[in-house]
C-alpha cells in the first residue's frame, strides 16, 4: 500500500531543511579543495621553518621539497574537480595550477632549496600577506563564485 498523499515520510538524518539533497556544486568543491591545499602548503612551510630554526638543514630541505612536490602535483590531483566545471573556469584553473606545477618542477629538477622556498612568494612579498596560491584562490572565488548558500 502507498502512503497517504500527505503522510510525513521519515527524513534521513544527514538531510537538513537547508540541504538540497545533492552533492556540493563543483565550484564549491574546487574552492574548498584549493583552500585545503593552500593550508597544507603553509603547514609544510611552517614545519620546514621550524627545522631551520633548530638548525636542521636536512629537515628544512625535506620540508621545502615536500612543498614543491605538493605544488607540482596540483594539476593531476585537480582533474576530478575540474571535470564538472564550466569550461572557462576549468581553463583558468588548469592554467593557474600548471603555472604552479611548472615552477615547482623547475625547483625540484634544479634541487634548489632557495628556489623551492621562494615558490609562491614574489620579490616584494611581506610577511602576513597572501601567497600566490592563496591569491589565485581569491581570484577564482571572485571570478567564479560558488552558488549562494553552497559554501
Q: What mean pLDDT, rounded, does the chain reach?
A: 86
Residue 76 three-state SS: helix
CA separation for the pair 110, 123 (Å, rounded): 20
pTM given for the model: 0.81
pLDDT value of position 149: 61
Percent of the chain with pLDDT over 70: 83
Cell 548558500 locates to 149
* pLDDT value of residue 23: 59
CB 71 within 8 A of CB 100: yes
Determine the pLDDT at residue 53: 97
Where are the chain's structural domains? 26-143
What backbone phi and psi angles, to 5 degrees, belong to 10?
-65, 145
> Which one is predicted more confidently, 20 or 57?
57
Question: What does the chain come to in residues?
Answer: 151
The string of pLDDT tens digits covering residues 89-132 is: 999 999 999 999 999 999 999 999 999 999 999 889 999 999 99
Confidence (pLDDT) at 97: 98
Amino acid at each position: 500500500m502507498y502512503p497517504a498523499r500527505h503522510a510525513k515520510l521519515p527524513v534521513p538524518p544527514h538531510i537538513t531543511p537547508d540541504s538540497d539533497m545533492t552533492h556540493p556544486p563543483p565550484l564549491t568543491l574546487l574552492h574548498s579543495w584549493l583552500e585545503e591545499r593552500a593550508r597544507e602548503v603553509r603547514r609544510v612551510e611552517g614545519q620546514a621553518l621550524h627545522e631551520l630554526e633548530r638548525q636542521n638543514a636536512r629537515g628544512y630541505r625535506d620540508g621545502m621539497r615536500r612543498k614543491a612536490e605538493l605544488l607540482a602535483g596540483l594539476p593531476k590531483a585537480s582533474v576530478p574537480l575540474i571535470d564538472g566545471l564550466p569550461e572557462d573556469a576549468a581553463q583558468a584553473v588548469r592554467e593557474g595550477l600548471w603555472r604552479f606545477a611548472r615552477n615547482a618542477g623547475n625547483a625540484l629538477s634544479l634541487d634548489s632549496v632557495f628556489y623551492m622556498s621562494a615558490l609562491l612568494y614574489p620579490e616584494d612579498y611581506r610577511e602576513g600577506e597572501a601567497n600566490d596560491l592563496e591569491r589565485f584562490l581569491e581570484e577564482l572565488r571572485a571570478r567564479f563564485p560558488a552558488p549562494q548558500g553552497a559554501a
